[in-house]
Amino acid sequence: MLAAAAAAACAALAGPMPAGVSVVRATTITPAPAWSPVTTGHYQPVPVRVPLCRVEGTIGGDIGFELWLPIDWNGRLLGAGVGGDAGVFNYADMSRRVAQGFATVTTDGGHKSTQARWMADAKARVDYEHRATHLTARAAKAIARRYYRRDVAKSYFLGCSGGGRQALKEMQNYPGDYDGVIAGAPGPYMPLQSVRMMWGALLQKHDPAGALRDGDWALYERRATAACDAKDGVADGIVANPLQCRFAIATLACRPGQATDCLSAPKLAMLETIVKPMPDERGRAMDWGLYPGVRTRPGPPSPLLRAMWADGVHADPDWNEDRFRRTADLAAANRAMPELRADKTAISPFLRAGGKAILYQGWADPSTNAGPTLRYYRDLARAQGGIARLRDSVRLFMVPGMYHCAGGPGADAFGGSGHPGESTDPAGDVVWSLIRWVERGRAPDRLIAAKLDAGTVRFTRPLCPFPQAARYDGIGPTDRETSYECKVDPDLTRLMSN
């Protein structure tokens, strides 16, 4: 598209469109040499160096979205999900992928991060649960068609945390929106995960002597890692498979006269309680608990947790968190926000349409723990007639030593949401691996993940499709992914039957 024609086509997008879509601004961006949108949000962009049409709009008056349309378009649309309580735009993934030729789109989920008590609004809750992402996909395709004068050829969605949950909702509820989705750390049953977070925070609030600080969790992580690190044949500071880790928490107890590098009796008891499966009021397990060495968030309940229960569930700004009851409040959350859950296993429409999905999850994730993602994949496999059939369309990659979406001691850069790099190599970029799967029928048998230090690669590891795991060949350099093979892991296979 010529520059003059592109500018005219961009300007012509401004104004009302069908289905309640309004383009507030349509601006031609000509980087000289680079451009970045002004933002104070979490998703900081990289400098954009390609010319584009920046579309800023709303849907139904309160769902905000941005769509970036590069002049040099590859025919694809990429949706960029947002995590937490949303309210912002994912400029990070948009800026990285628009440079590769994607039309990129994101939504704030139907509210602004500065908006007080938005969860008390029933429409805002539904927009946040699923509707905003769906309507934004529809609007983006319509606007792209008008701008380029041709349809989007293929569409993809990339998200982690809340963005990963959005990816699952698109697969489950709106199978026609995207040809492929990538769901990182998706927290499939977010209400139950939220119950665990609130329960752990309140336990510590009511027992100050047992309250665990960040240093206490770090000690636990360090000792458990030291005990289980070498079980995969490589001593690298990473627990490759926490299912194989056996660590006695009692070994952290302070000896007589010891005051540092240990845990007091109240803290030891607190740690043992939190890492076990969370019980309901009758003592029955509500989840799988935490895997050995996995830390969690210290401190009181987060503002998002309080907003969820006070505004979204109880519609009471003065709600007393000390009245929280695990079973009753979980049921109340599921009534108030039934689509906050993203654990539906009836995904046949998505599969029949040829849709593909890649899930990824850090083993060491302290926020959206690995257990719920593994349980969802197990349930998906059962619903689809077994893991062999499921793997034809949906694959899960567990990431050893990775925290929430990124971070931690493990290799954590492979093209996921928020990851650095501009690679188009499917071997090391999950987006391009998904594209190859959808468009060429080649399923990902491994991904190469890197650990970066100031942009320099420290080491690489293969990520393997579940139930496989990386195994060191005992010969090559331990810092190279070529020294590892993907092999079926019996522990992961057994997990499917639990």
pTM strictly above 0.85: yes
Structure tokens at 355: 């849709």
Angle at 373 between CA 371 and CA 374, to 5 degrees: 65
**Terminal CA-CA length for the chain:** 55
Whether residue 1 has pLDDT greater than 70 = no
Residues 322, 261: Cα–Cα separation, whole Å: 32
42 compared with 316, residue with greater pLDDT: 316
Altogether, the residues listed in the chain come to a count of 498
When pLDDT is cut at 50, 70 and 90, the band that residue 257 belongs to is: very high
Q: 349 preceded by cis ω (within 30°)? A: no
For residues 169-188, give the mean pLDDT. Answer: 98
Amino acid at site 397: F
Judge whether 406 and 415 are in contact, CB under 8 Å: no
The per-residue pLDDT for 251 is 97
Q: Minimal CA–CA distance to 73: which of 42, 102, 114, 107?
A: 102
CA distances (Å), 155 to each of 77, 113, 143, in order?
5, 27, 14
For residues 185-194, give the mean pLDDT. Answer: 96
CA distances (Å), 465 to each of 35, 119, 157, 235, in order?
38, 37, 19, 23
For residues 457-466, give the mean pLDDT. Answer: 97
β-strand partners of 471: 485
Whether residue 299 has pLDDT greater than 80 = no
CA distances (Å), 253 to each of 126, 206, 212, 259, 263, in order?
47, 21, 14, 10, 5
- In the block, which residue shows the tokens 């044949």? 233
Strand ranges in 60-128 using DSSP code E only, listed in sequence order: 63-70, 76-80, 103-107
When pLDDT is cut at 50, 70 and 90, the band that residue 444 belongs to is: very high
Judge whether 49 and 70 are in contact, CB under 8 Å: no
| Domain ranges for the chain | 1-152, 192-338, 341-498
**Percent of the chain predicted with pLDDT > 90:** 93
42 compared with 72, residue with greater pLDDT: 72
Whether residue 113 has pLDDT greater than 80 = yes
The per-residue pLDDT for 421 is 80
For residues 241-259, give the mean pLDDT. Answer: 95
- HEC readout, the chain: CCHHHHHHHHHCCCEECCCCEEEEEEEEECCCCCECCCCCCCCCCCCECCCEEEEEEEECCCEEEEEEEECCCCCEEEEECCCCCCCCCCHHHHHHHHCCCCEEEEECCCCCCCCCCHHHCHHHHHHHHHHHHHHHHHHHHHHHHHHHCCCCCEEEEEEECHHHHHHHHHHHHCCCCCCEEEEECCCCCHHHHHHHHHHHHHHHHCCHHHCCCHHHHHHHHHHHHHHHHHHHCCCCCCCCCHHHCCCCHHHHECCCCCCCCCECHHHHHHHHHHHCCCECCCCCECCCCCCCCCCCCCCCCCHHHHHHHHHHHCCCCCCCHHHCCHHHHHHHHHHHCHHHCCCCCCCHHHHHCCCEEEEEEECCCCCCCHHHHHHHHHHHHHHCCCHHHHCCCEEEEEECCCCCCCCCCCCCECCCCCCCCCCCCCCCCHHHHHHHHHHHCCCCCCEEEEEEECCEEEEEEEECECCEEEEECCCCCCCCHHHEEEEECHHHHHHCCC
The per-residue pLDDT for 197 is 94
The per-residue pLDDT for 2 is 63
For residues 369-375, give the mean pLDDT. Answer: 96
The pLDDT tens digits for 39-71 are 877 899 999 999 999 999 999 999 999 999 999
The DSSP output letter for 253 is B
64 compared with 306, residue with greater pLDDT: 64
How much is the mean pLDDT over the chain? 95
β-strand partners of 22: 16, 58
- In the block, which residue shows the tokens 């579940």? 466
Phi, psi of 246 (to 5 degrees): -120, 115
The per-residue pLDDT for 422 is 79
